[in-house]
């Protein structure tokens, strides 16, 4: 069990991840960010879903827009207008204390003990290290769900090149991934390999997960011909307990911040000398590019059925 700060733009797959984290990790706090929904809705969702899964961690409000780009539309067609399938009453308020202050203060208070788990845009993380660069060497690990490197044809899910979380704020992602933070990346290369069906979800006997996923499953069936979903964000939580189920490589990473490949994640794959090296000075990050999908799926089902 690790001490984690759970950073989320909470939608349907984020809720599955939070349910797993509540079962398996010590959640110090839940920090919210824009993405699947506006940040105020993310605060409401985090409070509601934490209560539903028996998690008493405090919830904090983070960034409401990207560092440099104009805000883009939410993911309502996939996650519903409220991010949780439009099936739950949510009386909780949108206001909360600062997520950025909470991240900074927590890491300073517990050096080398706090793992950041970021499953939305990386704006909160970038803002925290901008305001308090002293925390960079104090973070135990940053685990993110985001990006796509093309393994087995798994490229973008928003554009042909770009994954949603990175595309929402590519400038923040580039800053974080090229920083000295120790980052582990769970990209679409592995998340699209671990699929669960509607029947799998119903077998969990967790009514709220079945309720919030109905619209997501209908969307998937219409778009992909599959009544199911990729676990996506949940893999960032499962990595904490089951790292041996993943195959990793080490490489520096940059993110494209303009043009038709906006939001694309690029790893350095060659050692040939060049006159200009955009990876110069970048830390080698841990990239999960392979996964034992059956083992990860079984671990997920066992965790939520426990």
Distance of CA 286 to the CA centre of its chain: 15
- ∠ CA 289-164-114, nearest 5°, is 65
For residue 60, give both structure tokens. 């904090």
For residue 109, give both structure tokens. 């208070």
Rounded to whole angstroms, the Cα distance separating 250 from 49 reads 35
Q: Is 232 a catalytic residue?
A: yes
Length of the chain, please?
306
For residue 258, give both structure tokens. 């303009």
Give me the sign of the Cα torsion angle 31, 149, 246, 16: positive
Can you tell me whether residue 151 is helix, strand or coil? helix
Q: Which residues, including other chains, have CB under 8 Å from residue 289's CB and lie 6 or more apart?
A: 149, 151, 187, 189, 190, 247, 248, 249
Active site positions, annotated: 232
């Amino acid at each position: 069990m690790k001490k984690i700060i759970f950073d989320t733009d909470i939608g349907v797959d984020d809720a599955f991840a939070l349910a797993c984290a509540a079962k398996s990790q010590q959640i110090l706090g839940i920090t919210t960010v824009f993405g699947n929904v506006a940040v105020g809705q993310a605060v409401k969702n985090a409070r509601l879903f934490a209560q539903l899964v028996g998690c008493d961690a405090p919830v904090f409000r983070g960034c409401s827009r990207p560092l440099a780009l104009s805000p883009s539309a939410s993911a309502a067609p996939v996650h519903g207008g409220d991010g949780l399938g439009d099936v739950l009453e949510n009386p909780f308020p949108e206001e909360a204390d600062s997520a950025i202050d909470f991240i900074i203060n927590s890491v300073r208070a517990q050096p080398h003990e706090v793992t950041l788990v970021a499953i939305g845009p990386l704006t909160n993380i970038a803002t925290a290290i901008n305001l308090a660069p002293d925390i960079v060497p104090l973070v135990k690990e940053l685990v993110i769900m985001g990006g796509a490197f093309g393994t087995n044809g798994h490229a973008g899910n928003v554009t042909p090149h770009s994954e949603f979380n990175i595309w929402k704020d590519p400038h923040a992602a580039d800053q974080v991934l090229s920083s000295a933070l120790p980052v582990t990346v769970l990209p679409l290369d592995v998340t699209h390999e671990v699929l669960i069906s509607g029947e799998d979800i119903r077998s969990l006997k967790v009514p709220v997960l079945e309720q919030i996923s109905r619209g997501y499953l209908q969307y998937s069936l219409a778009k992909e011909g599959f009544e199911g979903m990729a676990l996506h964000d949940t893999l960032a939580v499962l990595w904490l307990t089951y790292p041996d189920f993943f195959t990793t490589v080490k490489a520096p990473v940059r993110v494209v911040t303009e043009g038709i490949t906006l939001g694309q994640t690029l790893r350095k794959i060659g050692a040939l000398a060049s006159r200009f090296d955009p990876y110069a000075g970048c830390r080698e990050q841990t990239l999960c590019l392979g996964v034992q999908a059956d083992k990860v799926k079984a671990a997920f089902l066992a965790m939520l059925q426990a």
